[in-house]
């Protein structure tokens, strides 16, 4: 009988590849089949698995990661792409649309007491529209600036301070015993 815990205890990771050695299609399909059969939240399978075999695409994928050295040398790369990312935009937009539709009668309907309700409805509808637009436009911009700030700080940490002597490796004298 197969023991899951025994498998986990004896697993290992390989980080040295021979890029000239292709992965057999049967093995690749078997691994992908198992990955697709793996359980997910609500069994939605909210991801795609992309297999990258082209060297140029593997190098581009490696450049987008934090540790690209082993990925570029691998004969193929399998990466997961989440499909559920659209939910981050859809659910808040649905909530705002429901509130917006709930506030429209306050803003548009006339009649007795409408002079008290109309300003409230206009402020609700206008506030929701403005907040949705600000969220959709400013959030990506903030993420971009934060990423640029992170990259700038990483470059600054790698660079020697101004006025500091430049350290160069020197050749060591031959230490052979004579």
**Per-residue tokens: 123:** 């402020």
160 or 124, higher pLDDT:
124
- Tell me how far apart the alpha carbons of residues 101 and 93 are, in angstroms, rounded to a whole number: 12
| Choice among 73-77, 128-132, 141-145 with the minimum mean pLDDT | 73-77
- Tell me how far apart the alpha carbons of residues 92 and 98 are, in angstroms, rounded to a whole number: 10
Angle, to 10 degrees, between the axis of helix 87-108 and the axis of helix 114-158?
Answer: 150
Average pLDDT over residues 38-51: 74
Entry pTM: 0.40
39 or 1, higher pLDDT:
39
**Per-residue tokens: 7:** 């498998």
Give pLDDT, residue 84. Answer: 59
What sign has the CA pseudo-torsion 122, 125, 128, 131?
A: negative
Residue 73: which of 61, 85, 88, 89 has the closest Cα? 61
């Amino acid at each position: 009988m197969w023991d899951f815990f025994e498998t986990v205890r004896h697993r290992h990771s390989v980080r040295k590849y021979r890029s000239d050695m292709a992965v057999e299609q049967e093995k690749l399909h078997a691994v992908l089949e198992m990955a697709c059969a793996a359980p997910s939240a609500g069994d939605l399978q909210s991801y795609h698995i992309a297999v990258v075999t082209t060297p140029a695409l593997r190098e581009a994928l490696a450049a987008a990661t934090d540790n690209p050295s082993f990925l570029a040398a691998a004969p193929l790369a399998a990466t997961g792409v989440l499909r559920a990312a659209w939910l981050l935009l859809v659910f808040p937009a649905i909530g705002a649309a429901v509130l917006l539709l709930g506030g429209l009668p306050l803003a548009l309907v006339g009649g007795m007491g409408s002079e008290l309700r109309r300003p409230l409805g206009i402020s609700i509808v206008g506030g929701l529209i403005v907040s949705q637009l600000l969220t959709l436009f400013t959030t990506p911009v903030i993420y971009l600036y934060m990423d640029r700030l992170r990259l700038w700080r990483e470059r600054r940490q790698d660079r020697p301070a101004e006025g500091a002597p430049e350290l160069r490796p020197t050749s060591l004298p031959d230490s052979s015993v004579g």
